[in-house]
Amino acid sequence: SSTGDDGASGDGGSGDVITVGFAQTGSESGWRSANTESMKEAFSADNGFDLKFNAADNKQEAQIAAVRSFINQGVDAIVIAPITVDGWDDVLKEAQDAGIPVVLEDRTVSASEDLYASWVGLDFEQEGKTAGEWVKENFDGKGANLVILEGTTGSSAALDRATGFAEATEGTDINVLDSQTGDFTRDGGKKVMEGYLQKYGDDIDVLFAHNDDMGLGALDAIEAAGLTPGKDIQIVTIDAVHDGMQALADGKFNFIVECNPLLGEKAADLVKAVLAGETVEKKTIVPDQSFTQEQAIEALPTRPY
């Protein structure tokens, strides 16, 4: 059994194994697959971990239940990629009372910072802002019509991207026709885009999708409606996973803001440091870049995911 006392020395078999419960959101997107892989690699037995993995199928109650089960199992530490920002206070308090430190990865929560040890993730607001700046640069002054595919309702990724995008496009003459959730999935993106196309037809000039997968789903709907994605409707998305980058390289997407899913190593370092009693940063933001078509063509051959 593990104690976690000397977690910092758990590198390859010396010292005790660290048992970690990881509560993942689900498997909604290509980004999520890359993130899960990065986490599993970093929390591997080779690195001194025994990983208990749960994916909650994008359901908040299931994710909270998974965290409770990790507490009951007496794991050494818990890592959560929180589906939504709200609803975490009680279970985080329960972990704290049980003496189990929690590290958050990817998304943030609205609960008090005292209830978790650390967070590593991305600046979602900046991602939305970068997407908005691209739209402003290319469409302001043209009276363009925009539709938005939002991520999972109540997730920090969707909330902060919406805030950043609105901030960047404020004061422009861009007309937001509609904004609905596609839950970060291809299916969701396709269905909502079909509805937009039925309602607004070829009035739509530009689409902002909160992630690549919803944008990829929308491509199917746009092509099925006899329109050319990237031309009749320009598309900006967030993530820069392989299929999104391929769509950009092919001219079907027009711009992608990156969201880096490779957070595993940093999360594992944080868990070890916290268990070793070290003081850690409360927030670690991993930098993102953005891609035009030319940059996507150049980056694609060496992208790791």
Give the nearest distance from C-beta 4 to ligand AHR in angstroms. 28
Q: CB neighbours of 61 closer than 8 A, spacing ≥ 6? A: none
SS in 3 state form for 219-248? Answer: HHHHHHCCCCECCCEEEEEEECCHHHHHHH
Kindly tell me which residue out of 70, 139, 184, 291 binds ligand AHR, with binding defined by CB under 6 A. 184
Give the nearest distance from C-beta 215 to ligand AHR in angstroms. 10
Q: Could you say whether residue 129 binds ligand AHR (CB under 6 A)? A: no
Token pair for 215: 């944008």
φ/ψ of 243, rounded to 5, equals -65, -35
Q: Strand 175-181 relative to strand 206-209: parallel, antiparallel, unpaired?
A: unpaired
Q: Could you say whether residue 218 binds ligand AHR (CB under 6 A)? A: no
Identify which of residues 23 and 75 has a Cβ nearer to ligand AHR in the complex.
23
Q: Could you say whether residue 32 binds ligand AHR (CB under 6 A)? A: yes
Q: Could you say whether residue 106 binds ligand AHR (CB under 6 A)? A: yes
Q: Could you say whether residue 51 binds ligand AHR (CB under 6 A)? A: no
Give the nearest distance from C-beta 195 to ligand AHR in angstroms. 21
Q: Could you say whether residue 80 binds ligand AHR (CB under 6 A)? A: no
Q: Could you say whether residue 139 binds ligand AHR (CB under 6 A)? A: no
φ/ψ of 197, rounded to 5, equals -70, -35
Identify which of residues 94 and 123 has a Cβ nearer to ligand AHR in the complex.
123
Query: Contact 82/120 with Cβ under 8 angstroms?
Result: no
Give the nearest distance from C-beta 50 to ligand AHR in angstroms. 26
Q: Could you say whether residue 181 binds ligand AHR (CB under 6 A)? A: no
Q: Could you say whether residue 28 binds ligand AHR (CB under 6 A)? A: yes
Q: CB neighbours of 111 closer than 8 A, spacing ≥ 6? A: 88, 89, 92
Give the nearest distance from C-beta 128 to ligand AHR in angstroms. 11
With CB under 6 A, what is the number of residues at the site for ligand AHR? 13
Of 252, 205, 256, which Cα lies nearest the Cα of 31?
A: 256
Q: Which 8-state DSSP code applies to residue 108?
A: -
CA-based radius of gyration for the chain: 20
If you search the block for the tokens 């980056």, which residue do you land on? Answer: 299
Q: Could you say whether residue 60 binds ligand AHR (CB under 6 A)? A: no
Give the nearest distance from C-beta 199 to ligand AHR in angstroms. 25
Identify which of residues 50 and 165 has a Cβ nearer to ligand AHR in the complex.
165
Query: Contact 253/244 with Cβ under 8 angstroms?
Result: yes
Identify which of residues 77 and 238 has a Cβ nearer to ligand AHR in the complex.
238
Kindly tell me which residue out of 107, 186, 191, 272 binds ligand AHR, with binding defined by CB under 6 A. 107
Q: Could you say whether residue 133 binds ligand AHR (CB under 6 A)? A: no
Of 154, 162, 157, which Cα lies nearest the Cα of 179?
A: 162
Kindly tell me which residue out of 2, 19, 24, 29 binds ligand AHR, with binding defined by CB under 6 A. 29
Please tell me the distance from the alpha carbon of residue 104 to that of residue 121, in angstroms, as a whole number.
8
Q: Could you say whether residue 259 binds ligand AHR (CB under 6 A)? A: yes
Please tell me the distance from the alpha carbon of residue 178 to that of residue 208, in angstroms, as a whole number.
11
Please tell me the distance from the alpha carbon of residue 82 to that of residue 74, in angstroms, as a whole number.
20
Q: Could you say whether residue 211 binds ligand AHR (CB under 6 A)? A: yes
Binding site residues, ligand AHR, CB under 6 A: 28-29, 31-32, 106-107, 157, 184, 211, 213, 238-239, 259
